Chains A and B, each alone.
Chain A
């Protein structure tokens, strides 16, 4: 019995490993290609987007997919970090916008989410649907009114034009509300009987219980805003203020090699944050384990 279980677990693990490997191919490619020389990149991928002439033997011409570089080199990274002052500047710009957004939205949203999830008031569900609707609007639709609003507030070309709307986004409200709904009423009943107010219930009971939710929200928000393209494109005219996401919104085909290196650097903060938040998930298990 135990042995069967072990074999089943092994098979399942093996299957998942294969799937995971497939999922990782693009990232692995990005990483290994970032270590190639520009020349090698050119030789491998020069034919992308081309139509080769069949009369000249084009039927047999393909790009050359290579997982491992012939020559390991950090020259692409050197290009990005040393010869490209824009990159670091934009990196810090991104950090300066994304961190306040993530912190702000998490804080504001956890309060709103508490109201939507744990309180009873008139029009609650309708109001929530309105929050939801704003999330569904494609950015092109609200672009013009948003621009008018931001210009009226005098925020055009200021970081605040990105940070403020970011803080008040509905995503966090939506997500944390969902997590708060999970918590059985019995958890808070006792506190209510003891005379605890909503402030106490929120801070002492609900918030600790939704920590796994907050952790995943942090990761998702960070990823979303680290990758934002449209808003800074329109609202931040000044190239010196633009975030990193605009640095490689669209990799130039002649700068493919640098693009790979820039991508790796670009991904690093997100990966680190994920790894950090992941340990939080584990803590979350323990917490709910104790309480439950």
Chain B
């Protein structure tokens, strides 16, 4: 690295940022930014090729759709319930597994492994348990109860939450573990010297320094909560039980009926909502950063 270059870098972060961002930015613009913008544009036109600008007509049609509103409500409910459960569980596991325990490495591996199971086998296994003739119902039958159609009754939502948590708890746990490991041990040592107890260390060091990780995990968990669609779709089809008809079903059905307009406007609304959430999370994180510096 030449002295001259280094000098210019020191001159201002803007120039340095440009250099650091350049390798990724071109490809990002080409493969993500452009399609993203096009997608938004489609939501304002009447067809994909040679479309006419129609303003917010697609959004009006979308909001008039009862099924869209149902899907949005279901998605909100599912995400609102499953993400906190998942985060509490995976954070708890990460905290436990970062302490001395018997079989620690083995346990850690065991929780992470569901992550690598391919969707197709996950579906095959869930089917074995959840089917009308499946094992859960066989056990219920053995206990003298009637069968439950797990994915076609009010059990569908809890079932989905369980599937989601099972699959993602390892994912979030890895992230939390990595976050925990990057908190310098010296902070804890200092705290101990100052006489802080376990709980105080947890709330004042661990959770505080974990803030960026937590922000990240929340957002990733929301994204992953949408991915549970693939399993649901393979298990319950394109028109599943009312309660688990999610935005992903709606969008997928719109795609297959070539209604790109409703699809893109639905996505735009959804992303809009998440961005508001993400914005506030990132703002919290920013406060953390300025506090750090």
> Contact residues of A with B, CB < 8 Å?
9-10, 12-13, 16-17, 19-21, 23-24, 26-27, 29-30, 45, 47-52, 60-63, 65, 107-109, 111-112, 114-115, 119-122, 124-125, 128-138, 140-146, 148-149, 153, 164-165, 167-170, 173-175, 178-179, 181-185, 195, 197-200, 202, 209-210, 212-213, 215-216, 219-220, 223, 227, 229, 245, 248-251, 256, 259-260, 263, 266-267, 270-271, 274-275, 278, 281, 284-285, 288-289, 291-292
Q: Are B24 and A23 in contact (CB under 8 A)?
A: no
C-alpha gap A26/B6 in the complex (Å): 54
Most buried by B among A47, A63, A138, A197: A138
Chain B residues near A146 (CB-CB < 8 A): 31, 35
Q: Are B113 and A24 in contact (CB under 8 A)?
A: yes
A281 partner residues in chain B, CB cutoff 8 A: 177-178, 181
**Pair B278/A271 contact, Cβ less than 8 Å:** no
Which residues 189-222 of B have a CB within 8 angstroms of A?
209, 212-213, 215-216, 219-220
| Interface status of B101 (Cβ within 8 A of chain A) | yes
Q: How far does the alpha carbon of A229 sit from the alpha carbon of B200 in the complex, in Å?
A: 46
Bound state CA distance, A202 and B265, in angstroms?
40
Q: Is the Cβ of B101 less than 8 Å from the Cβ of A16?
A: yes
Flag whether B155 is at the interface (Cβ < 8 A). no
Residues from chain A with a CB closer than 8 A to the CB of B230 are 229
Which of A120, A184, A185 sits near B184, CB closer than 8 Å?
Answer: A184
**Known A108-B27, A119-B16; contact A250-B32, beta-carbon cutoff 8 A:** no
B267 touches A141 (CB 8 A): yes
A78-B23 Cα distance, complex, nearest whole Å: 45
Q: Is the CB of B212 within 8 A of A271?
A: no
B292 at the interface (CB under 8 A from A): yes
A292, B45: Cα distance in complex, Å: 56
Give the residue of A134, A181, A220, A251 whose beta carbon is less than 8 angstroms from that of B121: A251
27 intermolecular pairs with C-beta atoms under 8 Å apart: A12-B101, A16-B97, A16-B101, A19-B111, A20-B107, A20-B111, A21-B110, A27-B114, A63-B128, A115-B21, A121-B14, A129-B279, A141-B251, A142-B35, A144-B39, A145-B42, A174-B219, A174-B220, A181-B289, A198-B9, A199-B1, A199-B9, A212-B181, A213-B178, A263-B118, A263-B121, A284-B178
Asked if B133 contacts A133 (CB within 8 A), the reply is no
Is A134 a contact partner of B186 (Cβ separation < 8 A)? no
Given contacts A16-B96, A23-B169, A197-B6, contact A60 B274 (CB under 8 A): no
Q: Given the known A-B contacts A115-B17, A245-B118, are A140 and B252 also in contact in the complex, defined by CB atoms under 8 Å?
A: yes
Residues of the A chain whose Cβ atoms lie less than 8 Å from the Cβ of B169: 23
Pick from A27, A112, A134, A140: contact of B33, CB below 8 A. Answer: A134
Measured between beta carbons, the chain B residues less than 8 angstroms from A174 are 216, 219-220
Check B96 against A212 for contact (C-beta < 8 Å): no
Main secondary structure of the interface of B (DSSP, over half): helix
What chain B residues lie within 8 Å of A138 (beta carbons)? 226, 248, 251, 267, 270
Judge whether A62 and B178 touch: CB under 8 Å. no
B102: chain A residues within 8 A (beta carbon): 9-10, 13
Q: How far is the CA of A10 from the CA of B100 in the complex (A)?
A: 11
Identify the B interface with A (CB < 8 A): 1, 5-6, 9-10, 13-14, 16-18, 20-21, 23-25, 27-28, 30-36, 38-39, 42, 48, 93, 96-97, 100-103, 105-129, 131-135, 137-138, 141, 166, 169-171, 174-175, 177-179, 181-187, 209, 212-213, 215-216, 219-220, 223, 226, 230, 234, 248, 251-252, 254-255, 260, 263-264, 267, 270-271, 274-275, 278-279, 282, 285-286, 289, 292-293
A115 touches B16 (CB 8 A): yes
Q: How far is the CB of B129 from chain A (nearest CB, A)?
A: 8
